[in-house]
Homo-oligomer: A and B are copies of this chain.
Amino acid sequence: MIPRGFDRSEYEVRMARAQGEMTARQLDAVVVTTPPNWRYFAGFATQFWESPTRPWFLVLPREGEPIAVIPTIGEPGIARTWVADIRTWPAPRAEDDGVSLMAQVLGDLPRKFGRIGWEMGRESIIRMPIADFDRIRAACSGIEFADASPLIWRLRMVKSPAEVAKIERACQIGSAAYAALPGQLSIGMDEHEVARLFRAELTRQGADAIPFMAVTSGAGGYDQIIVGPVDRTMADGDVLFIDLGCTFDGYFCDFDRNFAIGRIDDETRRVQDIVWRATEAGIAAARPGATPADLAAAMVSVMSDAGATGGNVGRLGHGLGLQLTEPPSNMPGEAVVLEPGMVMTIEPGMDYGNGKMLVHEENVVITEDGCRLLTTRAPREMWQVG
């Protein structure tokens, strides 16, 4: 039984690391606005983020305690977290939705560097109207708004053992649900019905939520992996592809599986084996000191040797955690070096035939001397339906 939430000490360590990085990067504070960063730094979990109406601000000063600057509706929820300093305004308030309050809070912070970091950079967004962001920026004269995303990703990229345990639980839930699926599917089934059955099985297995599921199918393969299900009936010779991001206590798994619908042809079987072996190579290459580019090269090597000309998804895996995908990316030019606690997808894809592809994916955590598989490894031959 994996406990939900974290001990207070986990958040204190995150805050201390953030503050150390702020000094190193010459920031007086970091402001976060997005669901995963609220969860990471404050331990605040809600699906209320689906409502775009109200911005929420968590101010992490370089010294001292975090400050929540939030709509009144959020006060009871934040009061249950470790964040004690809560400032509220009665949102929604069209004429001033947190703008003057944030300008005041930021203006009152001790100033050493004259720089405050926001979620401005790669793989980051700011969850508030940018017109209001511009207003706060204009109101904070003498303070430079800088990009805090390298700091945030540096922290979040390396998972604690408690975080890894939650990701592993999500992977186990997904693995058990995938394994139960072949017996529930049949030739002639619609993609929407596949999705419905899989969602039901995931819920039975204990998934908290299923923010990402892609279902697609096609004769001998598929031409994309991010859209679907659609109104399409699976036929003999199809490959069914499912990609899954379900969560346990906020942490994601992200891995796919391929299913042979009836009798798939020999070329599809050949490509299946190549991509399976490319995954093996990626797992074998995942170790501290290696780079994500090394992982990509190991996978590409297996596929190139077999005559592949590349895929179009742009990378061969990535980090994951509180989000379905996180830095780093398994691709040439990625500067990060792998270290213990990083959780990565190993995700080779191979184009073949007329615009068809097969994509495989597993999740691993980097350990002291290599990596440990968090997913139950896909069988070398596709699971068979019908």
Residues of chain A at the chain B interface (Cβ within 8 Å): 4, 44-48, 50-54, 71-77, 80, 90-92, 94, 97, 118-131, 133, 147, 149, 195-196, 199-200, 203-204, 206, 208-214, 223-224, 226-227, 230-231, 245, 312-315, 318, 323-326, 329, 331, 333, 355
Contact = CB atoms under 8 A, between A and B. Distances in A.
How many copies, total? 2
A52 B318 CA distance: 12
A77 B77 CA distance: 39
B200 A73 contact: no
A114 to B, nearest CB: 18
A147 B125 contact: no
A129 B122 contact: yes
Contacts of A126: 125-126, 130
A48 B226 contact: yes
A74 B223 CA distance: 11
Contacts of A54: 314
A323 B52 contact: yes
B314 A45 contact: no
Contacts of A314: 54, 71-73, 90-92
A200 B174 CA distance: 16
Contact of A318 (B47, B53, B71, B206): B53
The list of the 7 closest CB pairs from A to B, nearest first, reads A76-B224, A48-B226, A51-B325, A77-B227, A50-B324, A50-B212, A120-B131
Nearest to A196: B203
